[in-house]
Structures are given as structure tokens and as C-alpha cells.
Amino acid sequence: MKKDEEDIIEINKRQQIFYDTKEKNWATKIWYSLRNRNLQKIRKSLNLEKQIQELHLEWCGDLSNKKVLDLGCYEGNSLSIYLAHNSKEYLAIDLSEKGINHLSGRIKNIENAQAVVVDFLSEDFQEGSFDLIYAYGVLHHFKNTNQLIARLKEKLNENGTIISNDPLMTSFPVKVARGIYRPFQSDKDWEWPFTRKTYYKFAAAFEIKDRRGMLGRVKKLMLLNLLPFSEQKKTMIAEKWHNKDWENSRHSDIELFRCMHITMLMQKKN
């Protein structure tokens, strides 16, 4: 293993402690609180989680003959449990023992489903031949995109697919805000929101079968919240803007890079 790959394994040991303890410094606490207060409110009013989940269910298709890896599962989200129930074989992995213990309890009665503490990049992770890798909020935790892409390809079957969901830092206001926050951030060594370059590396390595950008125009809603519009009016505007982001970002890179989040269905090229 090369020196920088060894360094990343060391960083991931600190990441494991972060997810086990959830201890944050003051700057990270402020960032999380601002994000939760503003963005979560918008996500909730748009019912965005449900919309993403429905899209991911469609992308998963029939899983009865598929071996699935839930990469960076932590304690499992609602699709994790669906995957465990509906796939031929389900393996969930995470750095955090706390997260894995919790998920293990939730899936203990499901045949062919298990959750294991292991680093995806480490040699201890031997399992392979996955038909689907589900990585919700995970791919941006890898500093070296080339190393990650090589590992994903190695672990996928021919025609295997990846479903991902990650933050983007391609729009100007997000780049500025993140640039100011970054020096103070507790989790900066393992949080790498996608840049244009990251996206294009994935697009070169995999076939992007489908994609959606989220929270593009809708970012402006944070400013709209300062003006005296009724909640009903704001929700109407938010829905209109969100629908434009959701549809236009499928085909236009300009529209995609305005967004704050990206979800993708990628397929291994043969």
C-alpha cells in the first residue's frame, strides 16, 4: 500500500471516533445548527427525503437476485432496512462500531443480512462481487477520489451499479461559505463535498445512468425567509424552484452545479 493510502486509513481511524462519539468543536456545532435550522426546514417542506427515497427505490429495481453492499451505513436509514429485506444478500459496513451495533440489532432476524465494522479501503475488507453499492452520504468522505473509484470498480460485478447521494460545493455561495468554515471544521479531513472535478472523475469512470441535483434555486429561499411572505406562498415558490432543479439538473451541467446536493445512479463500464 502507498504512503498516502496508509495516511487515509489513519485518518479513517479518527473518523471512526468522530462517528462513535459525535464530538464536534464550536465551529462545527454552529455549522450543523445553521444547516439544520435552514436546510432541514426547506427539505421538510418539500418532502425531499421521500422523493429521494422513491427515486432510489426505482433505481434499485428487483433485488431478489442481487448482492448488495450498504457502504457507510452508520445505523441504517429507511432504505437500508428495505435493502436488507429484499436483496438476495445484504452486507452493511461502516467505520463506527456504535452505528453497526445499532443496525445489527435492527436486521438480526433477516436472513442473509449482516452488518460489519470495517474500512472499505482496508485490506481487511475482502468481500466482493456486489451487484449494487448503496452509498448514501458516503462518497464525499473519501479524500482520494481515484483510490475510491478504483476500489468501487474492484468490488462491483460486471454491470454492477452504485446509488450515491452527496453534497456539492460547486455553486459560488456554497464555495465561499465552505471556504470560510473549512479551517475551523472538526471533520475537515474526511469531508470532501464534490467539486466539478470530482463529478467529472466519476462521469469518466462510470456510466451515469441518471442523476438529480437538489437545493439549487431553492437556496435563495433562505433569503426569501427574511421577507414578509406567507408560509403558503413560500412553499409554492419552493416547490416550483425545486421541480426546476430536479428536472433540469438531469441533463444540464450548469443547472447541476448550481445545486447543493447530487444523487446519481452509476453503472460500471465494461
Ligand X SMILES: C[S@@+](CC[C@H](N)C(=O)[O-])C[C@H]1O[C@@H](n2cnc3c(N)ncnc32)[C@H](O)[C@@H]1O
Find the Cα–Cα–Cα–Cα dihedral 120, 125, 131, 137, rounded to 10°: -20
Please provide the DSSP assignment of 218-249 as one string: GGGHHHHTTS---HHHHHHHHHHHHHHHHHHT
Q: Which is nearer to ligand X, 60 or 138 (CB)?
A: 138
Out of 31, 46, 84, 94, name the contact with ligand X by CB under 6 A. 94
Q: Work out which of 31, 74, 90, 199 binds ligand X, going by CB under 6 A.
A: 74
82 binds ligand X (CB under 6 A): no
Stretch that binds ligand X, among 56-64, 131-139, 193-201, 207-215 (CB under 6 A): 131-139
Q: Is 186 helix (H, G, I), strand (E, B) or coil?
A: coil
Any idea which residue has 465552505 for its cell? 178
Type of residue at 10 = E
39 binds ligand X (CB under 6 A): no
Judged by DSSP in three states, 161 sits in strand
* Contact map string, positions 132 to 161, toward ligand X, x by CB under 6 A: ----xxx--x--------------------
What are the φ and ψ backbone dihedral angles of 209, each rounded to 5 degrees? -75, -35
C-alpha cell of residue 44: 421538510
Instruction: Number of residues interacting with ligand X: please give it, by CB under 6 A.
Output: 19
DSSP character at residue 168: B
- Tell whether residue 100 is a contact of ligand X (CB under 6 A): no
Interface residue with ligand X, options 28, 39, 48, 77 (CB under 6 A)? 77
Using the rule CB under 6 A, which residue among 19, 82, 206, 241 binds ligand X? 19
The site for ligand X (CB under 6 A) is made up of 12, 15, 19, 72-74, 77, 93-96, 99, 119-121, 136-138, 141
